[in-house]
Structure 1
Amino acid sequence: MKLLPTLLKIGGITLGLVIFAVVVFYFWASSNGYPRNKYAEIIDYPATAPTNKDEFTLITYNIGYLSGLTNNQAVSREKKLFDDNLKTVVGALKPLNADFIGLQEIDLGSKRSFKVNQVLELAKALSFNQAGIAINWDKTYVPFPYLPFSAHFGRILSGQAVLSRYPITNNKRIVLDTVASKPFFYNALYLDRVAQVSEIQVDNRSVIIINVHLEAFDAPTRRKQTEYIQKLVSEYVDKYPVLLIGDFNSTVPPIPENPQPTVDILLKTASIKSALPPEALDNPQIATFPSDKPTVKFDYVFYTPKNIEVTEWRIVDEVKQASDHLPVMVKFRFKD
């Protein structure tokens, strides 16, 4: 009879230790390691000053931390994969001589991508003068994918970036709604969905680039985020030329996983226009995901037609499968 109380006591102590360990792990794993005052930093790089020009090139690219089609998969990766994908991206984008590149899912020092600052590497290789960054994932340890443990992301420092050949005078990071239906520990360890607002001085005018990466898995949250983006755009369109770019995680026409495309909110907003003709958005030839056999379009460029004229657009399939997305390139002019 004395054995039962002893076993219960041991069991209680063991359970208590397990709970304590889980709590300690949670607070440790969800802690931040990067200075918060650098979450929306503007970084200078040594590069040649841009020349005066009439036409500009912009690219938006969910670069998927250069993990190719293995993005978010529980697989082991070698550094060679990331090195080769970086070389492919640089080789594909360099001839385009872009003036601005908006990037999503780019690592600045994560275990999953061998602690390489991908913003720095791209800025140097493509000779950009500045980058505005917007950190959206700064965690000591991310236990995803869940199994095997060897595939865990571990230390994460990731976010969005705007590379520019022209001076970035202001760079803001706005955290969007989280998924209300998820438990607190999910949101604490998951990435923030962010709108990055970069003000850029192009000759005698200020231009606003809004770079977004919206919720992928929860449609109600993505709708709230999109409605917020619509309001955010309205704060700038009367005063500035605006380019709204990024991964909107919504496609037209509807698909079973996306029965009510939230991007419709922006397609129906009078003050902005899709650089890719809305009537062509359901054409699989301009799909951007997945990069090996594109079937849907998640990546868009919107602009203010009252002061911007789009002269050319295309999907940049030369990057091959360096990411699970393909970039969108747009050429444009300012209206006098």
Structure 2
Amino acid sequence: MAYVKRALVGLLGLAVLALLAFGGLVLWLWATDYRPPQVVDLQVRGAGEQGAPAELSLLTWNVGYAGLGAEQDFFLDGGSRGWPGPDEVRRYLDGITSYLQSHPADVVMLQEVDRGSKRTHYVNEVVAVAAALPDYAWVFAKNYDVAFVPVPPTSPMGRVVAGQMTLSRWRPTAAERHALPGEYSFLVQLVQLDRCFILERIPAPDGREWVLINTHNSAFDAGQLREQQLGYIKEVMTREYAAGNYVVVGGDWNLILPGVDPDTAFAHTEPRPEFYLPFPEDWTPAGWTWAYDARVPTNRSVSRPWSPGENYVTVIDGFLVSPNVKVEEVHTDDLGFAYSDHQPVRVRLSVGER
């Protein structure tokens, strides 16, 4: 009987210690939580030319923090892993920067760029990308800054610092980080991304401005967060258009773009994961144009390593342009998801009639 009592006391003690440890972790995460203001001016770094282009080429690519190449799966998508080894990170990053150098665009919009994360072995990818395009002006906006991500439990992600990056051949006159609305529950939000978009202004030849928005919307919610974020994006983009500007919104929308059939657009044997949601049908303002390449998927499921015809694939990356912007051409480069779980989308635009 005494042995049983001692065992129960021991178990109680362990439970108390576990609760104290959990409480300490929550307190630490709350104290170090990244809480940026709604709008933050971003410092424009690098070079970039002065000018007022009538035509722009743009590229958007979620580079998957140089950690989600073809060989990888991811635990949040149903896989078993969280990040690759250091040699794989370097190989993916080399592939990403080589592509950017060999496929130039006037404006490059990147998502999921790590600046100092355990998951990518603390490689500063921001520095690597900026060095690959030394003649470009660039800005970086954090959307993930967590002291310790405790999942997956068997191999925690740990420290994460990451964000979005916009690089431009033409030096912008201003750049801002805009926080996207909506949050997960308290505990989840402490280790989740703080979603945002980057807004840049580049002069246009008629005295107006190109307003370029690089967005990375939420994933893994039931749709309510993405709905709030779309509301804010629409508010900003339509206001800028009403002011006479040429507006381009590009990035990873984390929604299946309008006109893409969620289930039959591409060959795949994996059922569509439930967090792949279609774009709201009535959201796009009249006269605005979606620019994407319907022939090539831009994103794959990372529930397993890449296997053509097996993984679920769709189009969630692309551009939306205001009625005074003309889409000259758009193309997705099929890289076989070699370096990321997304593929780069390229568009060429010109000033159109208002």
One of 281, 301, 305 as aligned partner of 2:323: 305
| Cα offset, 1:119, TM superposition | 2.0
Q: Identity over aligned residues, as a percent?
A: 26
SS of the residue corresponding to residue 189 of structure 1 reads coil
Q: Deviations over 1:170-217 (max 9, x none)?
A: 3122132123xxx42111111122232222345654221122112222
Indicate if the aligned counterparts of 2:42 and 2:175 stay in contact, CA closer than 8 A. no
AA aligned opposite 1:287: P
Indicate if the aligned counterparts of 2:217 and 2:254 stay in contact, CA closer than 8 A. yes
One of 76, 84, 88 as aligned partner of 2:91: 84
Structure 2, unaligned runs of 5 or more: 76-80, 264-271
Indicate if the aligned counterparts of 1:199 and 1:209 stay in contact, CA closer than 8 A. yes
One of 258, 270, 274 as aligned partner of 2:286: 270
Indicate if the aligned counterparts of 1:39 and 1:134 stay in contact, CA closer than 8 A. no
User: Aligned pair 1:254/2:262, yes or no?
Assistant: yes
Compared CA separation, residues 72 and 258, structure 1 to 2 (3 A): closer
| Cα offset, 1:12, TM superposition | 4.1
| Cα offset, 1:22, TM superposition | 0.8
Q: Higher helix proportion, which one?
A: 1
| Cα offset, 1:264, TM superposition | 3.3
Q: Distance in 2 between matches of 1:265 and 1:85?
A: 38
One of 203, 208, 211 as aligned partner of 2:211: 208
Indicate if the aligned counterparts of 2:143 and 2:162 stay in contact, CA closer than 8 A. yes
- The answer for the alignment partner of 2:187 in structure 1 is 185
One of 275, 281, 296 as aligned partner of 1:286: 296
One of 121, 125, 138 as aligned partner of 1:131: 138
Compared CA separation, residues 88 and 175, structure 1 to 2 (3 A): same
Q: Deviations over 1:104-150 (max 9, x none)?
A: 1111111111212212211210224322222111011112233x32x
Compared CA separation, residues 88 and 328, structure 1 to 2 (3 A): same
Which is further off, 70-79 or 15-24?
A: 70-79
Alignment RMSD (CA, Å) = 3.0
Indicate if the aligned counterparts of 1:170 and 1:198 stay in contact, CA closer than 8 A. yes
Compared CA separation, residues 36 and 334, structure 1 to 2 (3 A): same
Indicate if the aligned counterparts of 2:48 and 2:170 stay in contact, CA closer than 8 A. no
| Cα offset, 1:77, TM superposition | 2.2
| Cα offset, 1:3, TM superposition | 7.2
User: Aligned pair 1:158/2:139, yes or no?
Assistant: no
Q: Deviations over 1:18-70 (max 9, x none)?
A: 2111111223345548896997632412x463677543210111110011142
User: Aligned pair 1:174/2:179, yes or no?
Assistant: yes
User: Aligned pair 1:330/2:335, yes or no?
Assistant: no
Normalised TM-score (structure 1)? 0.83
How many residues were matched structurally?
Answer: 321
Q: Distance in 1 between matches of 2:53 and 2:238?
A: 28
Normalised TM-score (structure 2)? 0.79
Q: Distance in 2 between matches of 1:139 and 1:259?
A: 25
AA aligned opposite 2:348: K
SS of the residue corresponding to residue 298 of structure 2 reads coil
Q: Deviations over 1:213-265 (max 9, x none)?
A: 12222223222322332222222111211111111112132345368622534
AA aligned opposite 1:333: S
- The answer for the alignment partner of 1:28 in structure 2 is 28
Indicate if the aligned counterparts of 2:255 and 2:276 stay in contact, CA closer than 8 A. no
Indicate if the aligned counterparts of 2:65 and 2:114 stay in contact, CA closer than 8 A. yes
Indicate if the aligned counterparts of 1:40 and 1:132 stay in contact, CA closer than 8 A. no
AA aligned opposite 2:56: F
AA aligned opposite 2:328: T
Q: Distance in 2 between matches of 1:76 and 1:304?
A: 38
SS of the residue corresponding to residue 65 of structure 2 reads helix
